[in-house]
């Protein structure tokens, strides 16, 4: 178990929320630092001013810049852990008894220098393991940023759709009251036609209401899928570099594919056309 300066150093680079190494670290007004994703999730449903997860000091800040120094220190610590893992006797190159310091991007495996120069791997793309790990982490952070934006966009569309559902229900009630008032005023003897007209109006109105509710349900489902994927990416960002180098490609492809499918809200013109039809009492 680590002790002394080494343990203290790690503690300073640990996020209080997830208790893992800081990922894309940001520092808030009180001076405490957290993973950007951890702040996103912990502050998402909070009203301003939000509070620091550590000291509970209020903070009005919403947009953050990555703490370059902390990010570099975390990178150094993670790279040290990766090299310690690879330089251990059980993970050294079996053939040449050397540390595996090269990453083969074709086969997704670690190689020593001599193996990377061999006929089997000579034509493959290679890079130092530290650089490969940093590259994967940057890909992961960009994917998380893109996915978070999709989550926020979907949330805005969902709220807009819910407002439209409420508005639509109120409009249907108002339309029925308007029709009844017009019949009472102008055509008091046509009660049967009044009920037929209201029934027709409700049928058409409920058709559009069902479409709105279907759209809302799709957005709710999409929200869950996006958030589940974001949690997966968060978990991957907290893994050691040795895991990130080998296991990220699958989740990266799934995340990219998920973001291509976007539920669309119903177009406002549909509501206008619908109510133009509903507003015609007589043809």
Residue 71 domain flag: no
Return the CATH number at 38: 3.30.40.10
Residue 92 domain flag: yes
| Residue 1 scores a pLDDT above 70 | no
Residues 145 and 258 in one domain: yes
Domain count, the chain: 3
Residues 183 and 234 in one domain: yes
Confidence of residue 188 (pLDDT cuts 50, 70, 90): confident
Residues 9 and 62 in one domain: yes
Residues 36 and 160 in one domain: no
Residues 54 and 167 in one domain: no
Residues 46 and 146 in one domain: no
Residues 117 and 194 in one domain: no
Residue 267 domain flag: yes
216 contacts 194 by C-beta, under 8 angstroms: no
What single DSSP character describes residue 90?
Answer: G
Q: Is 104 helix (H, G, I), strand (E, B) or coil?
A: strand
What is the rounded distance in angstroms from the CA atom of residue 277 to the CA atom of residue 258?
Answer: 38
Residues 167 and 265 in one domain: yes
Q: Which pLDDT value is given to residue 266?
A: 59
Return the CATH number at 120: 3.30.160
Residues 255 and 182 in one domain: yes
Which residue range(s) make up the domain with 261? 133-278
The verdict on whether omega for the bond into residue 66 sits within 30 degrees of 0, i.e. cis, is no
Residues 23 and 137 in one domain: no
What single DSSP character describes residue 66?
Answer: B
Residues 249 and 273 in one domain: yes
pLDDT in tens, 107-151: 888 888 888 888 887 778 888 988 999 999 999 999 999 999 999
Confidence of residue 281 (pLDDT cuts 50, 70, 90): very low
Would the pTM count as exceeding 0.85?
no
Q: Which pLDDT value is given to residue 230?
A: 94
Residues 223 and 119 in one domain: no
| Average model confidence (pLDDT) across the chain | 84
Residue position matching structure tokens 């934006």: 149
């Amino acid at each position: 178990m680590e002790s002394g300066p080494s343990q203290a150093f790690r503690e300073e680079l640990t996020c209080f929320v997830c208790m893992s190494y800081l990922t894309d670290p940001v520092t808030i007004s009180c001076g405490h630092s957290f993973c950007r994703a951890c702040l996103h999730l912990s502050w998402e449903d909070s009203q301003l001013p939000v509070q620091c997860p550590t000291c509970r000091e209020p903070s009005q800040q919403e947009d953050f810049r990555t703490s370059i120094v902390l990010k570099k220190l975390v990178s150094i610590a993670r790279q040290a852990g990766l090299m310690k893992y690879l330089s251990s006797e059980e993970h050294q190159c079996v053939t040449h008894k050397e540390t595996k310091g090269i990453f083969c991007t074709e086969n997704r495996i670690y190689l020593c220098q001599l193996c990377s120069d061999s006929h089997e791997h000579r034509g493959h793309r290679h890079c130092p393991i530290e650089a490969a790990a940093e590259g994967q982490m940057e890909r992961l952070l960009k994917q998380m940023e893109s996915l978070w934006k999709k989550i926020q966009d979907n949330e805005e569309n969902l709220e807009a759709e819910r407002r439209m559902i409420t508005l639509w229900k109120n409009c249907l009630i108002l339309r029925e009251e308007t029709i009844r008032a017009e019949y009472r005023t102008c055509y008091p003897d046509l009660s049967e036609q009044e009920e037929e007209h209201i029934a027709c109006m409700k049928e058409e109105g409920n058709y559009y209401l069902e479409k709105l509710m279907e759209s809302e349900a799709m957005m709710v489902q999409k929200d869950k899928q996006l958030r589940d994927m974001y949690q997966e990416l968060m978990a991957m960002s907290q893994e050691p570099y040795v895991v990130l180098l080998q296991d990220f490609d699958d989740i990266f492809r799934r995340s990219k594919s998920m973001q291509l499918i976007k539920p669309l809200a119903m177009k406002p013109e549909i509501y206008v056309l619908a109510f133009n039809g509903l507003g015609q009492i007589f043809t």
